[in-house]
Chain A
């Protein structure tokens, strides 16, 4: 079993590194195609959005605390607060909401 775990780790590390490395190493020229450039401009924001929704609502296991965290994160990020502020204040709100709900 321990050997198997190390092989699992090696396999996933290799696959993940190749995915990250190949485009950066093989694509050495600037893309001139406007549609392709525009596509790559939108990619990061769409990916992050799809990863966040609806997962953020179910992450805590309770829709109510998830919603409280989401609203907090939306408000703070709209106010252009930094990454750690948004992350930790949202967590704190989830924690407090959970405590309050636990009282009922």
Chain B
């Protein structure tokens, strides 16, 4: 185990590079909005460093700009970021059950959509050192991007800034699609999710539900339906990955990871 720590960390670094670059672009847009909301470069940078959440920070800016109450801010963060709880829930099953509290506290900091995305893609158990590697490149990307956005956001043409806003969604699709190709149940539930999400965004009455709440409700309802119709068997999905990794590790003495 001791030997593999550095390997895990390096693989985390490697897989974290695209995330760090993507974050750089996305948080640049965030930095521009921080400036508009009246935050200094230091305040914006610290906010990104200690929060590490795109949707949550964008929403917080609206609240800070309106000088709303702390309670309102806390509730908005709870609702928008509640999806991280589902992700941590899933990760709690992906780490070694014997993993100590210290490491659990450590990897909790880095539970973001993208780091979670590459973490669930790991074969077998998730090593905390893999997460630390990803965090080590993703966090500088996110904070530096925010800083640059505040300092030089108005230097860039609007056209470029609006093009960069697509980066985040491109990354999400890059996580979803390979899995959807491999597991048709995932593909089906994602197609239903696209339709349901669009309907909920535009139909009267339900469109008044906030974005964060819509994400939570649809995630819980659709994942539960999928779990009831197509339960993950011992032969498919995560189980298969785990067994395949175990066999492979026994054969070659090293784990394969997806880049």
Contact = CB atoms under 8 A, between A and B. Distances in A.
A88 B22 CA distance: 8
Nearest to B97: A30
B93 A86 contact: no
Interface residues of B, number: 105
B50 to A, nearest CB: 4
Contacts, number: 301
Nearest to A1: B38
Contacts of B55: 51
Contacts of B18: 82-84, 87
Interface in B172-221: 172-181, 185-186, 189-190, 193-194, 196-198, 201-202, 211, 214-215, 218-219
A48 B170 contact: no
A101 B249 CA distance: 53
A56 B105 contact: no
Contact of A5 (B43, B57, B178): B43
B136 interface: no
A80 B178 contact: yes
Size category of the A interface is 35 or more
Contacts of B222: 42, 46
6 A-B pairs with the lowest CB-CB distances in the bound complex, closest first: A38-B227, A77-B177, A84-B18, A83-B18, A95-B163, A21-B108
Given A43-B90, A86-B174, 16 more contacts: A1-B38, A21-B105, A21-B108, A24-B108, A40-B89, A44-B120, A45-B175, A45-B180, A45-B189, A45-B190, A46-B189, A48-B172, A52-B176, A55-B169, A56-B173, A59-B168
Interface of B: 17-19, 21-22, 25, 38-40, 43, 46-47, 50-53, 55-57, 60, 63-64, 67, 70, 73-74, 77-78, 81-93, 95, 97, 101, 104-105, 107-109, 111, 113-114, 116-117, 120, 159-160, 162-181, 185-186, 189-190, 193-194, 196-198, 201-202, 211, 214-215, 218-219, 222-224, 226-228, 230-232, 237-238, 259
28 contacts: A5-B38, A6-B43, A9-B50, A12-B77, A15-B78, A19-B84, A20-B109, A21-B104, A24-B91, A38-B226, A39-B227, A40-B89, A41-B227, A46-B193, A48-B113, A51-B172, A52-B176, A54-B197, A59-B169, A60-B163, A65-B162, A74-B173, A78-B181, A83-B175, A85-B174, A87-B18, A91-B25, A95-B163
